[in-house]
Amino acid sequence: MGIGMKVVMSTKVDLASMNIKEKLVENFGFSETDALFDGNPVFRRGDVLLLTTNEEMIYYDNLDAAIETQLGIKPELIVFASRHASKAKMPALTTHVTGNWGKAMYGGKDRSLAIAHPTAMKLALLKLNELNDLGWTVCYEATHHGPSELNVPSLFIEIGSSEEEWVNDRAGEILAETIVHVLENAGKKHEFKPALGIGGGHYAPKQTKRALEGELAFGHILPKYAQPVDEAMLTKAIERTLGGVEVIYVDWKGTKGEMRRKARDLAEKLDLEFIRD
C-alpha cells in the first residue's frame, strides 16, 4: 500500500459513520479494492484508505497496529468518522482528540491520551463552520473517551447528537467534504499556533471561538469537569501533541483556582506563551 498513507475509520454499528462513509464513496471517488480490514472491503482514494470495522471505534486501542498487521501500512493520520451522542440532543458538528484525563469510562486506558494533531483539528473546525448551512452548532469537544493507545496522530469528526442528525444526508456530505479537506491539507504548513486548552465546559466554547477567529489551534482540551489533574498529566498532554504546543490557554472563569496556578507555572517552566481569557 506504500508509505504516507492516511486512514478514515468507520464502523458498521454507527449510523453517522455509515452515512459519512456512503458520502465519501458517492461524492469523492473512493473506490473498492480487493483488500479487507476486519473482514470489510477497503476503499481507496489516492493516499487515503477508508476502512470499516464491526464494533464501536472508541474501544479500538492499538488500531494503528491492527492496520499495520492487516494491511502492511503505518498510517500517518487517522480520522474517525463518528456520531456524537448527548442527552441534550443538540444538533452539532464537532471535532476532538481522544484520551482520558482520569479514569477510563468509555474506552482507552486511565490517564492516557492519544496523539493530538492541532492543525488537522483546526482545519476540521474551520471547514465544518464554512460548510455548515444547517444552522447547527460547530465546536471542539474536550479530550474524552477512547481509543487512547494509538502511536499515530488521530482525531474524531462527529455528527451529533441524535439519530435524526446522524442520518441527515447534508450532515454526511459536510463531514465527508471536511474529512477530505483535512487529509489533503493537514500536512501543509499553516500559520497556526498550537495550544493546550484548559477550562470551560465540554463543548469548549471559548477555545472554539479563538480557533475560528484567530491563529490558535488546539490539541488536547482539559474541561472544568475533569479538573484537577497534576502537572505530569498536563505535561503528557503537551508531549502527546504532534509538534508540541507554543501556548497554554486558560478559560479563566472556567478553571479551578489550583489549575490556574498549575497552568501558569508550567507555561513559565516550559517557556510557553500563557493566555488567560
- Cell 494503528 -> residue: 64
Fold of 193-276: Rossmann fold (3.40.50)
Question: What torsion do the CA atoms of 23, 117, 199, 130 make, to the nearest 10 degrees?
Answer: -40
Q: What are phi and psi of 211, to 5 degrees?
A: -70, -35
Domain spans of the chain? 6-185, 193-276
What does each of the 277 residues of the chain score in pLDDT, given as a tens digit?
Answer: 556 899 999 999 999 999 999 999 999 999 999 999 999 999 999 999 999 999 999 999 999 999 999 999 999 999 999 999 998 889 999 999 999 999 999 999 999 999 999 999 999 999 999 999 999 999 999 999 999 999 999 999 999 999 999 999 999 999 999 999 999 999 999 999 999 999 999 999 999 999 999 999 999 999 999 999 999 999 999 999 999 999 999 999 999 999 999 999 999 999 999 999 9
Pick the CATH number of 6-185 from 3.40.50.20, 3.40.50.300, 3.40.630.50, 1.20.1250.20: 3.40.630.50
| C-alpha distances in Å from residue 48, one per residue of 27, 28, 29, 182, 185 | 15, 11, 11, 11, 13
d(CA 133, CA 45) in angstroms, rounded, equals: 27
